[in-house]
Amino acid sequence: MDKWFPHALQSRQSNTGKPDKSTSQSQRPSTTEPRAKRPRVESSSDIVALVTAVGELSLETARKERLHSGGLFRTFLVPLHEVFEDPLRVTQTASGADQSQDYVLAWASLVLAQATLPSTVREAQKVLQAHAANTQDISALRDAVLFCRVTYTFDSKHAKILIWTAESLTTVAKAIQFIAIALGGEAKFGPPPRTAKERKAVGLLGRFNKQ
């Protein structure tokens, strides 16, 4: 710890008649220039302009993020089915401390759930089963599973599946998509809708501009 901080005090000189450096230095005239004053906000109009600019910039950033994510994510809305109980639980109980691990766990749960589902989509299930069999350690998927969440929609009538994978898992992602649609799901394209925080910011900024 000592090497992190410079020594603030030096050992005092012994009484050998040598002048005290600290005393002689303190008697020297100060040559330090006065610190420049920070500019003050002269009127409330400056505050209004600042708040408006920050709000508009935040909304623009959120919009660009939605446009960007819309081209990356595969999104499906699927009627609630017992097969999604475990993926939903895994997503809901995610700690958030390690998001990469959370995504991998949700991915593994989704793959296993769909791979064991009794259905007529055998070819797609074979892809998922082979993927599970060839993955000895799911932690190895961290660099390939970039995003995976299974959540309820706002009306709790559908499961919302969002996945984003590296190119190496494209075939597996397509198999998940195929099974989701076979269960009555719908693939969503384009940017996602505004989040609750973004909608709130839009409303507050609109009311602020009307004042």
The domain locations on the chain are 73-196
The whole-model pTM stands at 0.59
Tens of pLDDT, residue by residue over 51-85, are: 777 777 777 777 666 655 555 678 899 999 888 99
In this model, does residue 114 exceed pLDDT 80?
yes
CB atoms < 10 A from the CB of 19, how many? Answer: 8
Quick one: how far is CA 192 from the chain centroid? Answer: 15
The CA–CA distances, whole Å, from 208 to 59, 60, 67 equal 14, 17, 26
Lowest average pLDDT, out of 15-19, 143-147, 191-195, goes to 15-19
Dihedrals φ, ψ of 159, to 5°?
Answer: -95, 135
User: Hey, CA dihedral for 166, 171, 176, 178, is it positive or negative?
Assistant: positive
What b-and-e string marks burial along 181-210, b requiring 16 or more CB atoms within 10 Å of the CB?
eebebeebeebeeeeeebeebeeebeeeee
Question: Average pLDDT in the 89-100 region?
Answer: 91
